[in-house]
Amino acid sequence: MRQTRNTPQRDLVRGLLEENYSHPTASEVYELARRENPSISRGTVYRNLNLLAEGGEITRLRMPLGPDHYDFQTQNHYHFVCRSCHRVLDSQIPYDDALNLATANVPGCKTEWHKLILVGLCPDCNIKKPQ
């Protein structure tokens, strides 16, 4: 495994996720990071988000709508995404390990992980545009 170094940029990205429970997107992390370090580049934010995700420090959430989100919480859990504002919230449905173990789910296929995403309207958007 390739050695990694600590840099102010990486610490900043990690710290921003640690103190943000809103599942920010890469662009949102970039905007937050620029407040602390105006010269940080977009590429650096993406690179560090990827490195932290590969290292298991954070989770990358690929949504059925909109861009990827990042989560400091690494335990398996499900998410809700608002179809209007693309906000991501934690679901309280318990994670079901059995879905990975079942071999008969897809003939010949070995399921390694799964994701369940609930889609609908968040409280804010439900008020603004009820249907």
Partner DNA sequence: AACAGTATTAGGAATGGTTATCAATAATAA
Partner DNA sequence: TTATTATTGATAACCATTCCTAATACTGTT
Binding status of residue 83 toward a second copy by CB under 8 A: yes
Binding status of residue 55 toward DNA by CB under 7 A: no
Q: What are the residues facing 59 on neighbouring strands?
A: 71
Cα three-residue angle 49-53-57, rounded to 5 degrees? 105
Nearest approach in angstroms of CB 7 to DNA is: 4
Task: Name the residue with tokens 């889609």.
Answer: 119
Nearest approach in angstroms of CB 122 to a second copy is: 5
Q: What are phi and psi of 13, to 5 degrees?
A: -60, -45
DSSP three-state, residue 6: coil
Q: Which stretch binds a second copy (CB under 8 A): 25-33, 42-50, 69-77, 89-97?
A: 89-97
Task: Please report how many Cα atoms fall inside a 13 Å half-sphere around the Cα of residue 95, on the Cβ side.
Answer: 13
Query: In 10 A of CB 76, how many CB atoms?
Result: 14
Binding status of residue 62 toward a second copy by CB under 8 A: yes
Nearest approach in angstroms of CB 52 to DNA is: 10
| Cβ–Cβ < 8 Å for 61, 23 | yes
**34 vs 77, beta carbon nearer a second copy:** 77
Q: Which stretch binds a second copy (CB under 8 A): 13-21, 31-39, 42-50, 101-109?
A: 101-109
Q: Pick from 16, 17, 32, 40: which binds DNA (CB under 7 A)?
A: 40
| Cβ–Cβ < 8 Å for 45, 66 | no
Instruction: Provide the binding-site residues for a second copy, judged by CB under 8 A.
Output: 62, 64-65, 80, 82-83, 89-93, 99-100, 102, 104-123, 126
